Structure 1
Amino acid sequence: MDWLQVVVLSVVQGLTEFLPISSSAHLILVPVLTDWPDQGLAFDVALHIGSLAAVVIYFRRDLAAMTASWTRSLATRQLDADARLAWAVLLGTIPVGLAGLATKDIVETYLRSPVLLAVGLIAFGLLLGWADWRHRGSRSEHQLTWRDIVVVGCAQALALFPGTSRSGITITAALMTGMSREGASRFSFLLSIPVIVLAGGLKTLELLSLGEPVAWGVLGLGAILSGISAYLCIHYFLAFIKRIGMQPFVAYRLVLGVVLLWIYL
C-alpha cells in the first residue's frame, strides 16, 4: 500500500461507516475502481479500531450513564431510560451476531460482486427513502419499546448483504417504528459499538492466526484518519439530519447503484 491508498481508504471508511450509504460497498469498490491491491486484513482491523474509537468518544457521556444504569438494573431489576437503552443495544446486537457467524464464509466468498453491491444500494436506498417520507415519527432513542428493539435488531442482520449499509438499514427500521430522524440515527450509532467490537475481534483473531508481519506505521495512520473522519461524520450528520433528512443519501445510493450496473453489466 502506498500513502495515497492509506489516506483514501481511511477517510472513506470513516465517512461511510456511519452514513447510510454502506461502508463495505465503498471499501470493496475503491480497490476495484482504482486497480489498487486489496488492503489486507490488518488494515481493515485498524480502520475498525479508528471507527470504534470515534463513536465511543463521541457518545462517552451517554455510554457512562448507560453503563451505570445498566449495572444498577442488574441489582435492582428496575429499568430507567438509560438502563433500557443499554439493554436495547445489547439485545439488538444478538441477531446480527448470530447471522454473521452463520453466514460469514458465504458473504465473504459469494456476495462481494459490484452487481450485488449495486442491487443492495438501490433496493435498500429506496426503502430508506420510503421510511423517511412516510413513517418518520418523533420518539427518541430513550423511548424504544421492546418491539422496536426486536425490529431494529433483526433488520441489522440484513446489513451482511453488501450494499445494504448497517447504519442505513437500522435507521430505516427505526424510522418505520415511529422514531425521529435524530433518535433513529443515535440508536443506530450506539448499536454500531458492539457490532464493530465483534467484527473487529473476529478479524483480529484471524489476523493473529496468520502470523503475518505488521506495518505499524501504516496501521496507526489508518486508525487515526479513520477515527477523525468518523467523529466528524457523526457530529455533522446529527447536527444537520433534522434539516436535510435522508433523501440526499437516498439519491446518492441510487446514482452510485445505477453507475455500477452500467459499468459491470
Structure 2
Amino acid sequence: MKLHAISDLHLAAEANRAALAEIHARPDDWLILAGDVGETEAHLQFAFDALQPKFKRLVWLPGNHELWALPSGTPLRGVARYERFVALCRARGVLTPEDPYPVETFGGRTVRIAPLFTLYDYSFRPDDVARDEVVAWARETGVGCADEYLLRPDPYPDRDAWCRARCAETEARLAEAAADGGPLVLANHWPLVEALARAPRIPRFAPWCGTRLTADWHRRFNACAVVSGHLHLRSERRIDGVPFHEVSLGNPREWQGRRAPDECVRLILG
C-alpha cells in the first residue's frame, strides 16, 4: 500500500474536472486531497465520485477556496461552512481533520496520518510591516487575495483569531499523537514553514500563506513527510532532513502542455 497526495484541483475549471478521468487507478493506495478541491459541495462530490473508485481511501483537508462564501452559493460562512464540508466527507467515508489520526503502513513503514486545518494569520510578512498595514503593503505591488472578501471567519472576529484557535487545538492533538514516538505525515493546505511561502512572481502574497505558529511542528512532532499546496508551485524540499512536498495540480494554464494530470499525483510513501 502506498500514500499519494494532490491539491488545488480547482474543479470550477472544466479542464480540471476532465483531468480527473486521467488519474490512474491505484486501488490499494491512499490519496490525500490537500485543499482547494473547489468552492462548492458539488465540486467535492464530483471529486469523490471520480476518485473514490480509484483509491482505497481518501483524506481531505480544506483550503481557502472551500471556505469561500460565494454570493450565489450556500449562506453558510466560517466555521459552519467548514463543518458542513466535514459532514459531507464523513457521509462519503472520507477522512478529515476532525477525525482521529489513523495509523497505517505504507511501503513497509507504519505512520500516523495527520490532516490539518490551520488557516493563516498574516505573520508571513516582514518584521517591519505591521499587521494592520499588511494588506496595503501587498497592494503596493498589485498583490491581493480574494479571501479578504470571500473567506469569512464567523463566529471569530477575524481570520487571525480563527487561525490561532485552530493551531492551538491542532497542536494539542499532535502532541498527543506523537507521544508514542511514531512518525507522522503532516498534511495541510498552507505551508507550515515560512521559507516555502515565497512565490517568486508574487512574493508579497506570503501573508495569506500560513502562520509562524507552525514553524517547528515538523521537528516537534516527528514528521517523516509534510504535504501542502496553495502556491501552485510543485516541489520537494528537505528542511531539517524532512521532505516537504508541494503537490498542486493548479489552474489549467499551469499544467496543460506541461505535465499529465496523473503526474501530479505525488507519491509520499511507498
Same fold (TM over 0.5): no
Structure scoring higher RCO (CA < 8 A, sep ≥ 6) equals 1
Higher strand share: 2
TM-score norm. by structure 1 comes to 0.25
TM-score norm. by structure 2 comes to 0.25
Higher helix share: 1
